[in-house]
Amino acid sequence: MNTPEFKGTHLFERLLWAKENLEPVQSDYRVVFESDVDSPASILVADPNWMAAAKQGGILPPVWVYWLLAADEAHPDFKKHTRGYLLHDTQPIGPLTEEQAIEYLIYKDVPRHVWENYNKGNKPNLIICNKSQLPKTREWRNAWSISDEVVSGNIETVQSIEYQETEGLDLTEMFSEELNRSKVYA
Amino acid sequence: MAGKIIADQIQSTTAGTLDTKYVVDGSVKSYVNFNQGTVNVIRKSLNISSVTDRATGRASGNFTSSFSDAEHTATAMPLYPTSGTAEYWSCISNDSGNGGVDTSKTSWNQTYGDQNEEHFWDSNKQMIMVVGDLA
């Protein structure tokens, strides 16, 4: 099914179209990240409708739009969004592979300080894995962390961001000239 | 988009007239039904890009189409645990229902636990619904 020309259409309307016309995609990928030393590892799951929209293409805005809005929100005088049009009027991105979509989600939904510094410690604080690699029960859930053993060893079973980048998104698409000019995200 | 109807009012044959802004402004803008048990999947949703399992009984969700401000209204409802005997609570809150960050323009935090506010529970069916103005 071809995606209608959605540039200028409210993003919410596009999501309604996607929900009505696209089969949801349940991803087996999970993003595991540690946002601070006092909290257990968080497990991010992609939404099936969102994943279908990402794979379809022509629906979602580039991820930098969310960064600009986040920068607006971080401003101390922020009251409400006045640049919501960025979500609706920016040219939507094309179809993504499932792996690229997960990478997009990391940049959108994982705290920036996590993915920006994911590999600067003595072990990564963010990995992408298959759901089968998560613990089978919720016992000791509040003590979950990224395993030293798994991270240091087998890249075939645990894919890191570093590995993904070789086939991942073209980052130049994700950084707009507007974003680089404004230098508003931190 | 084809098939668009532009109207300011809808008239019923029996129940009077309604401004379409009631429909546009009053509709649910985001919802999600997910399992924070062992399976950890999202069943049904609208306007959600991802859900993050943060710890026992604690989850966060992210919107695809952001809200204009953080003053939207969200409700959270879990399925009562089959082994439950206590009184349970579920709320949009960062931690223990005692405040902290709860909703933002782009996400929400939700917690679920029993009558002891420090006892958190995972539910196999967590349901969140949000109304408000989109950006």
Interface contact flag, A48 B47, Cβ < 8 Å: no
Higher-confidence position of B7 and B93 = B7
Residue A105 domain flag: yes
Strand-pair partners of B12: B16
Domain count within chain A: 1
pLDDT at B117: 59
Residue A135 has pLDDT above 70, yes or no: yes
Stated pTM of the model: 0.82
pLDDT single digits (tens) B15-58: 888 888 777 778 899 999 998 877 778 999 999 999 999 888 88
- What is the distance in angstroms between the Cα of A159 and the nearest Cα belonging to chain B? 19
Q: How far apart are CA B43 and CA B125, in angstroms?
A: 9
Spatial CB neighbours of B55, under 8 Å, sequence gap ≥ 6: A39, A40, A42, A141, A142, B120
Q: Is this complex's ipTM strictly greater than 0.90? A: no
Spatial CB neighbours of A74, under 8 Å, sequence gap ≥ 6: A186
Strand-pair partners of A128: A31, A159
Residue B98 has pLDDT above 80, yes or no: no
B55 shares contact with chain A (CB less than 8 Å): yes
* Amino acid of residue B89: W
pLDDT single digits (tens) A109-130: 999 999 988 888 878 889 898 8
Tokens of B62: 């992210």
The residue extents of the domains of chain B are 35-131
Residue A177: give the domain boundaries: 11-181
Tokens of B91: 């709320």
**Mean predicted lDDT score pLDDT of chain A:** 82
Higher-confidence position of A170 and A68 = A68
Higher-confidence position of B21 and A173 = B21
Q: Token match 């005692």: residue?
A: B98
Higher-confidence position of B121 and A58 = A58
Least CB–CB distance from B135: residue in A53, A84, A141 = A84
Residue A115 domain flag: yes
B85 shares contact with chain A (CB less than 8 Å): no
Residue A1 domain flag: no
Task: Look at A139-148, B75-84, B120-129 and tell me which has the smallest mean pLDDT.
Answer: B75-84
Query: What's the CA angle centered on A170, arms A169 and A172, to 5 degrees?
Result: 135
A175 shares contact with chain B (CB less than 8 Å): no
Helix (H, G, I), strand (E, B) or coil at A109: helix
State the burial class of residue B92 (Cβ atoms within 10 Å of its Cβ: 0-12, 13-18, 19+).
Answer: middle
3-state helix, strand, coil in chain A (%, to 5): 40, 10, 50
- What is the distance in angstroms between the Cα of B71 and the nearest Cα belonging to chain A? 9
Helix ranges (DSSP H) in B2-129: 20-26
pLDDT at B36: 84
Q: How many CB contacts within 8 angstroms connect chain A with chain B? A: 118
